[in-house]
Amino acid sequence: MIKKTICISNPSFLKKQDEQLVIEQGENRQSIPIEDIGVLILDHWQITLTEACLSSMLSNGGVVISCSKSHHPDGIMLPVAGNALHEEILKSQIESSLPLKKQLWQQTIKTKILNQAALLQLQKINAEPLNHFAKNVRSGDPDNLEGRAAAYYWKNIFPTIPDFKRDRGGLPPNHLLNYGYSLLRAVVARGLVSSGLHPAIGIHHANRYNAFGLADDIMEPYRPFVDQIVIGMLEECGDVIDLVPETKRKLLEVLNIDVIMEEERKPLQLAVGKTCSSLVQCFKKERNKIIYPEFNAT
């Protein structure tokens, strides 16, 4: 089932009534079945919600994202009991060997670079250097081909911004990429928890202050789908785009686009779930490869 993404960007009161999320904005009132909501984004300082509403969202597997004054996501609330076999799966995740983690990271980076290459190709930009890097990624990526590929990718992906540098605090369209990646991170974290995995225990990203290391790992091959939407926005509106509600709605589209996975077209949200399930099988030694989507360059 494809879950809905709801973004609240006006003063609102949210409550639960008859298993519905009721949204009251002045005299306006609307309701949505809570079980249909996958992501709830709170993007205004004057939003009030009840504990019953919040608890029901989480118990139905939803994710709640809180945004800062600058309208960027600054917090994610996830359900803690998303899988009946949580203890067994978590044990296999914690006990996974270093060689296995390195092999999984190799697969992840290779797919990411190939997806970046496909997006460049779609833009009629030479992607051969990235294809070369992807072929030579070794276990654990000791040669940092991810970084070398990124340097070429970001130098070429926005032809109208020849000096672009990818930096979270950098010039536009970094703010659009940041927002899109934050949404993607939340959906991946939700998929991991629903599969019984802990989003903080990464296969590569390891930082005591990062509660979403595994989400940051697994979302890597999905990033080019955000990049493609940002490219489309730049082509339509120019290089300077404010992060207004209309802009955020366009970035939210990444959660509902179709991707190619195992030669079939799937909505991105379902693809994330498939990726997370395959990762569980890898940790349990039932398979040796993560299933990721492929970027279609045609």
- What CATH number has the domain bearing residue 52? 3.100.10.20
Sign of torsion over alpha carbons 60, 62, 68, 70: negative
Residues 256 and 140 in one domain: yes
Report if residue 298 sits inside a domain. no
Looking at residue 241, its pLDDT comes to 82
How many Cα atoms occupy the beta-carbon half-sphere of 291 within 13 Å? 20
Domain boundary (38, 58, 77) is at 77
28-33 and 20-25 strand pairing = antiparallel
CA dihedral angle for residue 33, residue 34, residue 37, residue 42, rounded to 10 degrees: 120
Question: Domains in the chain: how many in total?
Answer: 2
Report if residue 46 sits inside a domain. yes
| Chain segment 38-53, per-residue pLDDT in tens | 889 898 889 999 999 9
Report if residue 27 sits inside a domain. yes
Decide if 71 contacts 43 (C-beta within 8 A): yes
Residues 149 and 237 in one domain: yes
Residues 128 and 157 in one domain: yes
| Chain segment 55-102, per-residue pLDDT in tens | 999 888 888 988 887 777 778 888 765 555 677 888 999 999 999 999
Which stretch of DSSP H or E encloses residue 117? helix 98-122
Range of the domain at 192: 86-283
Q: For the chain, what percentages of helix, strand and coil (3-state, to nearest 5) are there?
A: 45, 15, 35
Residues 116 and 234 in one domain: yes
Residues 271 and 131 in one domain: yes
Residues 72 and 90 in one domain: no
Domain boundary (77, 101, 121) is at 77
**Which stretches of the chain score pLDDT less than 70?**
1, 80-85, 207-209, 297-298
Domain boundary (16, 45, 77) is at 77
Report if residue 289 sits inside a domain. no
Looking at residue 84, its pLDDT comes to 56
Decide if 200 contacts 210 (C-beta within 8 A): yes
Report if residue 294 sits inside a domain. no
Residue 205 pairs in a beta bridge with none
Neighbours of 6 (CB within 10 A): 19
Residues 111 and 71 in one domain: no
Looking at residue 208, its pLDDT comes to 63
Report if residue 229 sits inside a domain. yes
Residues 113 and 221 in one domain: yes
264-267 and 258-261 strand pairing = antiparallel
Tokens, residue 231:
């490219």
